Amino acid sequence: MRSGPFRPGDRVQLTDPKGRHFSLVLERGQSYHTHRGAIDHDKLIGAPEGSVVLSAANTPYLALRPLLPDYVLAMPRGAQVIYPKDAAQILMWGDVFPGARVLEAGAGSGALTCSLLRAVGPAGHVRSYEIRADHAEHAVANVERFYGERPGNWDLRVGDLADHDPDETADRIVLDMLAPWEVLPVVRETVVPGGVLVGYVATTTQLSTLTEALREQACWTEPQVWETIVRPWHAVGLAVRPEHRMIAHTAFLLTARRLADGVTPPRVQRRPSRG
């Protein structure tokens, strides 16, 4: 992510007076055409972030570089993306740290991959599996567009996570796929003792199957299960109230930590909260 005045090659997010977003990449001599007239890229190049530019029809547009959540919500999708509210939980409760080796499946549209790559940093590594070649293409395009190039700390394998070589161990594993319980045999062998598994599933039946499959493996701490509900608020003057609309359901989250080999999972009476 760049900072400082806008330069050629920068991605810019324009916001119109109705709050609608438009995204463009700056090129000298080019124009961006809105329904309120054109905006010359040269007006933006050299201007500080947070500037307001006028279109040919005198409509003001606020110009900022998109944040990662802006980018993820606007990018083209093959598969459904993990929403920013859940990506934030995955990074925190999955304890994705700078230098971590993370395995994820499936890469889907590459939304979570963008967050994981940033969290592990240049000293870490993310290995993504994606079984569908068309989804993998979306993931590659979205990740490369966000970082401006193929990140050096990433590799994407087009294939089934079940075929992963467990000798390539991982500190953290994130599973966002239809049937995560099917890959648990390889996950069990790949995650280092103390490592964290994060599961992300859309339905209660998937959640139940995954949780019971983990208990059956008997090599994990008691699975922690929760969901996040974010309710945006309208706050203008004295009119302070919840927005009329919200994203009501995305998916359920689950974490568990790998025990040392040969250890029996201890019974846990009281579950810690995810607050």
Ligand X SMILES: C[S@@+](CC[C@H](N)C(=O)[O-])C[C@H]1O[C@@H](n2cnc3c(N)ncnc32)[C@H](O)[C@@H]1O
What is the binding site for ligand X (CB under 6 A)?
79-82, 105-106, 108-112, 129-132, 135, 160-162, 176-178, 183
Which CB atom, from 74 or from 123, has the smaller least distance to ligand X?
74
* φ, ψ dihedrals at 248, nearest 5°: -80, -40
Q: Using CA atoms, how far apart are residues 123 and 215, in angstroms rounded to an integer?
A: 33
User: Least separation, in Å, of the C-beta of 162 and ligand X?
Assistant: 6
Beta-ladder partners of 254: 199, 225
Which CB atom, from 14 or from 131, has the smaller least distance to ligand X?
131
Residue 196's identity, in one-letter code, is V
Q: Using CA atoms, how far apart are residues 119 and 153, in angstroms rounded to an integer?
A: 11
User: Least separation, in Å, of the C-beta of 163 and ligand X?
Assistant: 8
Residue (of 8, 5, 38) closest to 22 by Cα position: 38
Residues in CB range of 17: below 8 A, 6 or more apart = 59, 60
Which CB atom, from 125 or from 127, has the smaller least distance to ligand X?
127
User: Least separation, in Å, of the C-beta of 95 and ligand X?
Assistant: 18
Which CB atom, from 109 or from 190, has the smaller least distance to ligand X?
109
User: Least separation, in Å, of the C-beta of 177 and ligand X?
Assistant: 4
User: Least separation, in Å, of the C-beta of 134 and ligand X?
Assistant: 9
Q: Please give the helix or strand (H or E) that residue 11 lies within, else none.
A: strand 11-15
User: Least separation, in Å, of the C-beta of 21 and ligand X?
Assistant: 19
Residue 63 DSSP SS3: strand
146 to each of 104, 149, 176, how far by Cα in Å? Answer: 18, 8, 21
Strands 11-15 vs 21-25: parallel, antiparallel or unpaired = antiparallel
